[in-house]
Structure 1
């Protein structure tokens, strides 16, 4: 009962954070590990927990998505599916011992991405002239990362869109949520077929994250985003340190 309470609370708070500023994976993944779920299944189950929120996020930008070039959207969708499956398969063949060593560095990487997202997007915006091969390779790399480890995915996708020459922030956010939903769906199906998802924990956390997302949307009108971002960054660094000490 204590474990389920921890998971429900972590998922609820993750839903709140994702609705306001992002970073919910910094709570769901560690909570699963600390309640006894092995790191690789914990990563897969965490992806399931935050998965539904991407669809509702994309729905908020339907107007922008409908106006986007259909052929380009189809291409991005295809690359997201390929990357999501590739990342999930890469996770499945990663030895547990290796993943346990890599986890704190992935958390640190995702936290730094979150902390310096504006600078990252400013840097990548200068690379808008990349050719078709470079754009495809960059998209596949980002979506594969998302399939392997969900943390910081939104920031990496926004940086990718800046590098591809996007300037409409609403379209970028719409594509970010849509592609996150697609690639996460591909990875979740792969994880489910592999049988590594903890179903009871995933179902509980999906409900909690959905409730938290609704509460977060209401709370977002009252809390300063910078204050929430500071909390997310502190949690990210704290979890990184905890996993380093645990290892």
Structure 2
């Protein structure tokens, strides 16, 4: 099968998933690997290809952004930018064989975070109350993860933030979108300037993702949220299984 129709189709699905529920990287990175890109190049190219849709979502949420309890928006943004840069640098210095072995575990982490992150945050909130300092420290780690791989990172952020107290879900969604976008934007810039990019494949994936992002936003209004999340979780689990088989084979 020709690579470019597959990548355009993968971009459509990834963009729609990101717009509707998240988890688009569970599609875009495997698609890049399946058409022959090395895993580090696939990850970097996927981040750049999905960035326009991510930035569009951040722009749409901009009016709902508020400071999380006890934290400074500027500090959170600075941490996200710096963390994205560190994560991108770590990816570019990771040997290809090491990342091949690590990728299935990253997919597993992202899938589990997507499946259980909200429930974990709710359960912990009944027992734990943390302060802004701990949230900032966690944001450092999560932002580095976002720049390095990023699957499920938005859910992870919201799970951590929920431990501050009864935060407004709309405010957390806006903060998640904006801060993940900040980390991804810095990582994408780093990859575009210094990374092992494959631009034709990136352009094909990006073209599909732009259209998919619009379609996903429309479709998401008509499909129940649990169905969308269930699809993302099942797809992430399937890709995790495939890549574990690939790594062990």
**TM bucket by the smaller chain?**
over 0.9
Query: Alpha-carbon deviations, 1:109-154, whole Å to 9, x = none?
Result: 111111112212214535443352x333211001001011121121
Look up the match of 1:229: 229
Q: Check conservation: 1:52, 1:181, Cα contact below 8 A.
A: no
User: What is the CA–CA distance in structure 1 between the aligned matches of 2:23 and 2:239, rounded to whole Å?
Assistant: 12
Look up the match of 1:244: 244
Look up the match of 2:182: 182
SS at match of 1:94: coil
Output the TM-score relative to the length of structure 2.
0.92
Deviating more after overlay: 200-209 vs 56-65: 56-65
User: What is the CA–CA distance in structure 1 between the aligned matches of 2:195 and 2:79, rounded to whole Å?
Assistant: 24
User: What is the CA–CA distance in structure 2 between the aligned matches of 1:219 and 1:75, rounded to whole Å?
Assistant: 35
Within a 5 Å distance, the mapping from 1:206-221 to structure 2 comes to 206-221=206-221
Output the TM-score relative to the length of structure 1.
0.92
User: What is the CA–CA distance in structure 2 between the aligned matches of 1:166 and 1:4, rounded to whole Å?
Assistant: 46
Deviating more after overlay: 213-222 vs 28-37: 213-222
- For structure 2, the residue ranges without an aligned partner over 5 or more in a row are none
User: What is the CA–CA distance in structure 1 between the aligned matches of 2:222 and 2:64, rounded to whole Å?
Assistant: 26
Look up the match of 1:11: 11
Query: Alpha-carbon deviations, 1:48-99, whole Å to 9, x = none?
Result: 122122222223333222x548x81110111011100111111111111111
- For structure 1, the residue ranges without an aligned partner over 5 or more in a row are none
Count of aligned pairs: 245
Q: Check conservation: 1:57, 1:174, Cα contact below 8 A.
A: no
Within a 5 Å distance, the mapping from 1:97-176 to structure 2 comes to 97-125=97-125, 126-130=127-131, 132=133, 134-165=134-165, 167-176=167-176
Q: Check conservation: 1:124, 1:160, Cα contact below 8 A.
A: no
User: What is the CA–CA distance in structure 2 between the aligned matches of 1:214 and 1:183, rounded to whole Å?
Assistant: 22
